[in-house]
Amino acid sequence: MAVFTGAGVAITTPFKENGEVDYDLFGEQIEYQIAGGTDAIIVCGSTGESSCLSHEEHLEVIRYCCEKVNKRLPVVAGTGSNCTETAIYLSQEAEKSGADAILVVSPYYNKATQQGLIEHFTMVAESVKIPMLLYNIAGRTGINILPETIVHLCKNVPNIVGVKEASGNISQVAKILELADGCVDLYSGDDNQTVPIMSLGGIGVISVLSNIAPLKTHNICQAMLDNDVKKAAGLQLEAISLIDALFSEVNPIPVKRALEFQKRDRGVLRRPLTRMEDAHAAVLKAEMEKYGCL
């Protein structure tokens, strides 16, 4: 059984003006997502600025999210690291905190071989009992998890069940699903490819757009799950200009500004991320108004 189907939000981590995690605001954002129809909450991923959280903060954010959600939705905790032992530690602590699954990014900077990736992911998965999703995003990590590697891991490690595929390469997605023969739960890691990836056999998206439009993002996926491709395609195209604006600067800079426009976040980022440029922000605001989420 899949960890979830549909649209899971890659939720942001809100900060106070002094840089501390704002748990009150985080709780409000979690409740907004649940009320808005999101299908899962993915905490401490790229959008959650996990790379700028201390280990203690990282684990506390996961703990808080699990407690707040209280099993109303699946919680998937980002626990990847470029150090295998660190990824094991974060994953074990996330499991203790009540996470339903973990999301483990390929080791960044090290640029491991495919055999190194197999050993890394296997060791992390075997350290916990909950399901694990791989996270393939070569644009951030410098290494692509090849289709053959993804399928090998899902076939040979019982609790590695799928992948968040953010390579941007539809041909790679098709190859994974061709080789998988049903053993890989594949999620789009790019909002602008949700419908194309689901048309090939993907089962949902791990979404930035869901932060500001959870129901509309859910509806895109639900239309595909209902085999209404025409409706899903129309909803996907309706969102494209806003998605482009949400990625006009590196994620999560724009979505933090979008949440600020919705008065649901202060827009505070941790360095080296900086505030969105005014020209880009103006386009983002206009697209939010057009899309009906402002």
Whether 183 contacts 151, CB under 8 Å: yes
The single residue listed with the structure tokens 């959008």 is 47
Cα separation of 14 and 266, whole Å?
8
The catalytic position among 32, 68, 135, 216 is: 135
Concerning whether 135 is annotated as a catalytic residue, the answer is yes
Instruction: For the beta carbon of residue 206, count every other beta carbon within 10 angstroms.
Output: 29
Whether 210 contacts 38, CB under 8 Å: yes
Instruction: For the beta carbon of residue 2, count every other beta carbon within 10 angstroms.
Output: 16
Report how far apart, in Å, the C-alpha atoms of 220 and of each of 38, 138, 199 are.
11, 26, 12
- What's the start-to-end Cα distance of the chain, in Å? 36
Cα separation of 229 and 237, whole Å?
12
The single residue listed with the structure tokens 């791989």 is 134
In this structure, what token pair is assigned to residue 78? 């980002």
Cα separation of 198 and 41, whole Å?
19
**Using only C-alpha atoms, what is the Rg of the chain?**
18
Altogether, the residues listed in the chain come to a count of: 294
Cα separation of 150 and 240, whole Å?
28
Concerning whether 89 is annotated as a catalytic residue, the answer is no
Half-sphere exposure of 145 (CA within 13 A, CB side): 31
Amino acid at 115: Q
Closest by Cα among 98, 26, 100 to 57 = 26
The catalytic position among 32, 108, 155, 164 is: 164
Just list the catalytic residues: 135, 164
